[in-house]
Structure 1
Amino acid sequence: MPRWIDTWMPGSGPEAPGGGYPGERLGLPAQGVSAVAGFGRRLAALTVDWLLGYGIAALFLGADVGTSPFAVLGVWFLLTAVPVAVFGSSAGMTALGIRVASVGSEPVVGVPRAVLRTALIALLVPPLVRDSDGRGWHDRAARTVVVRTRP
C-alpha cells in the first residue's frame, strides 16, 4: 500500500512506463491548447507577475521599495493567489497564454489550493523540482497542472 506522500512527491509515485510526453498520465494532449505548459512560459509568467508586484509596491512605498522585500512579496502573493483561485490565471499567465487547471473535476482551483500553491512558489524550491509531467511540488501538492490556453 502506498504512503500518502506517494501521491504528490516527485519520483515516489507510479511513473508512466516508457516515458511518454508530459501530461499523458493526466489525459492531456501532447501539443496545442490544454497541453502542459513549458518551463520557459511558466518562468516568464512568474517574472511578469513579480514585476507587477514590484511596481505596485513601489507606488505605495516609493524609494523604500528596495528595502521592503516582504512588501513586494505580499503584493505579488495577492496578485497571484486571488486571480488563480477565481479565474485560473494571474496577469502574467494570461499574457503568456497559460492557466492553472485542476487535476480533478473541479472547474476552478479555489482559494485553499491557490493559496497553498502560491505559498510554495514563494519558497522557490518546489517549482524547480519537477516530475515527468512538468509539475513542481507546488502543483502536485495543490493537485493542479499549468496548461496552455493558446498554441
Structure 2
Amino acid sequence: MENRGSRVVTDETGADFSYRGDRLGLPREGPGSIAPPGRRVAAIFVDWALCGLIAYGLLADGQVRAANSWTLLVFLVMSVLTVGTLGRTPGKRLLGLRVIHVGGGRLTFPRAALRSVLLSLAIPALIWDRDTRGLHDKLTDAVQVRA
C-alpha cells in the first residue's frame, strides 16, 4: 500500500479523522470554532454558582435546603432568557463562548428553550458526538463556539 497521507486511510476505512467542527463547516481555530469542552464545563459551573446565589439570596430566605430546590429553576429561566435573546449565558460570556445555530446566526427562542430544558436534565449534556456536541445541542441544531 502506498503512503499517500491520512486521506487514503480515511477513504478506505470510512473513518473521518478531521478536526472538531469540520463536518459543520466551522473553522479549526479562533472565533467561530467549536468551544473546548473545559471552557464549556467551566461556564456551566459559573452559571450554576450564579443561579445558586440568586436562589439563596432572593428566593430561599437564607435557607440552604430551599435554595437548592430553587437553583435549577433559576438556572432554567436564566438559560432560556439569555441564550434565547443574547446567544450566551453570563458564564459563557465570561469565558468567551456563544451558542449559535449550526447553519449560522442566533438560535431561535423556541430552540433555546428546548435546549435549556434538555440541559437541565443533565443526561443529554453528557452524551457527546465526535464534534463534542452534547445531545441537547444536536437535538436543537445548536453548537457552542468561541466568540
Structure 1-normalised TM-score?
A: 0.82
Name the structure 1 match of 2:142. 144
Asked whether the equivalents of residues 57 and 65 of structure 1 are also in contact (C-alpha less than 8 Å), the reply is no
Distance 1:96 1:34 in 2: 14
Asked whether the 8 Å contact 1:33–1:147 carries over to 2, the reply is: yes
In structure 2, the residue matched to 1:48 is 46
Runs of at least 5 residues in structure 1 that lack an aligned partner in the other structure: 1-15
For residue 57 of structure 1, the aligned residue among 55, 58, 71 is 55
Structure 2 gaps, min length 5: 1-13
How far 1:68 sits from its partner (Å)?
A: 4.4
- Give the greater-gyration-radius structure (CA): 2
1:24-103 pair list within 5 angstroms: 24-60=22-58, 61-103=60-102
Q: Shift of residue 36 of structure 1?
A: 0.2
- Higher mean alpha-carbon deviation, 35-44 vs 68-77, is at 68-77
8 Å CA contact retained: 2:56, 2:67? no
* TM-score, L = length of structure 2: 0.85
Alignment partners' CA distance in 2, 1:30 and 1:104: 16
Q: How many residues align?
A: 133
Query: 2:130 pairs with 119, 123, 132, which one?
Result: 132
What is the percent sequence identity of the aligned residues?
38
Over the aligned positions, Cα root-mean-square deviation in angstroms equals: 1.4
